[in-house]
Amino acid sequence: MKREKVIETLDKLPEEFSTEELMDKLLFIEKVEQGINDVENGKTISLEEAKNKIAKKWAK
């Protein structure tokens, strides 16, 4: 994550906030950016594959 993104996130927070709130927001942004990167690099699976993975986990 770039410094600019952290500063932008800080600027959007209220004057007082918890460390947990900041970390939650930064983690969310990081996960979204990783997802976008994965899509751009073809690291995706079909809906059917996702359903099968979930079904296997729930069957345990």
Confidence band of 60 (pLDDT split at 50, 70, 90): confident
How far is it, in rounded angstroms, from Cα 42 to Cα 38? Answer: 6
| Residue-level pLDDT at 48 | 97
Average pLDDT, the chain: 95
| Residue-level pLDDT at 31 | 98
Is the CB of residue 45 less than 8 Å from the CB of residue 32?
Answer: no
What mean pLDDT do residues 39-51 have? 96
What mean pLDDT do residues 47-52 have? 96
Is the CB of residue 22 less than 8 Å from the CB of residue 10?
Answer: yes
| Residue-level pLDDT at 15 | 95
Q: H helices of 13-59, where?
A: 19-40, 47-59
